[in-house]
Structures are given as C-alpha cells and as structure tokens.
Structure 1
Amino acid sequence: MYSIVYTKKSANDIQNLKAAKLETKAKGLIDLIRENPYQTPPPHEKLQGDLQGAYSRRIYEVLEEEQTVKIISLWTHYEF
C-alpha cells in the first residue's frame, strides 16, 4: 500500500470537488490509487512534456522508492 501526499494545489482543489459533488468519487479513486497506482480502473494515461512521469485522471506522481503517491491536482491539469 502506498502513502498519499497532496500538493498545496491539490488540497485547494478539494473545494471545487465539493462544489461539484465529486468529493466521494475522488476519495474512491484515491483509495484505488493507494492500493495500486497502476491498476485499471481508474483508467489513466502517462502524461508527456512538463508533466512527464505523472498520470491523468486525477494528476499524480508515483514515487516508488518512498512507496508514495503525490497527488498534484484533483481538479484539472489544463491550468498548468
């Protein structure tokens, strides 16, 4: 099982999720990612460019050595 850490941006995104009534769905996805960040579902794709090493769906980075998943964004990656 992986540890979950949040960036400041992703912590701020929680208000958007609550407003859109998506908080429960996001928590479910994070629970899946905590168990295995590479599993499907949730469907994900590796991102390219500045976000290389991160994955879409909810943007996160897997830090294997630390067995940690860093949640970068919970709302959208188009604002980067």
Structure 2
Amino acid sequence: MHDGLWRVFYTKEALKDRERVIERGWGEKIRSIERALRENPYAPPREKLVGEFKGAYSKRINRQHRVVYQILEEDRAVKVVSAWSHYE
C-alpha cells in the first residue's frame, strides 16, 4: 500500500449498509467512493454534515443514499459510519 493513502474502515452497521448497497447494484459506485476516500477524504465533492452527524462528511452514492464518514486525522484513517440514507 502506498504510504500516502488513507485507511478506510466501516463500523459494523455501516458494513451491513455496504452489503445492501452492493446488492442493489451500486457496488461500483461505492468502490469508487472508497478509492477516493483512500486518496483524499477532504476532496470534493463532499458535504460537511450537521445535527446527528455533526463533524462528519458525506459523499453521494445516488439521489437518496450517501456514504457518511468521519476523518480520523491522527490515525490517517476514514471511519465510515453509514452507507445508506441518513434521511430515512
């Protein structure tokens, strides 16, 4: 692994979300988001969230669903906390 890459990991619930996303046919989109997060989690397009997910960011899977993640700068890691709609 290239030293400049970020480590991406999922919470238990987000891993279930990821499986649902892939089952629905959006696997390539989520893998593309994962590659982008490994390269630079700060790169646009991203949305900084407020409310329940304050301090987290999201990237769009499709119109309804988003990957919601936290950046753990000190660990050079990205923690995915949701990969399903956080508006439901």
Find the partner of 2:35 among 14, 28, 31: 31
Find the partner of 2:55 among 40, 53, 56: 53
Consecutive aligned runs of 4 or more in structure 1 exceeding 4 Å deviation: none
Query: CA offset at residue 50 of structure 1?
Result: 2.3
Cα RMSD, aligned residues only: 1.2
Higher strand share: 2
Map 1:1-80 onto structure 2 (within 5 A): 1-40=5-44, 43-57=45-59, 58-79=67-88
TM-score by length of 2: 0.80
Query: CA offset at residue 7 of structure 1?
Result: 0.4
Query: CA offset at residue 49 of structure 1?
Result: 1.8
Aligned positions, number? 77
TM-score by length of 1: 0.87
Query: CA offset at residue 73 of structure 1?
Result: 0.8
CA distance in 2, matches of 1:50, 1:25: 25
User: Where in structure 2 are there 5+ consecutive unaligned residues?
Assistant: 60-66
Query: CA offset at residue 44 of structure 1?
Result: 1.3
Query: CA offset at residue 19 of structure 1?
Result: 2.2
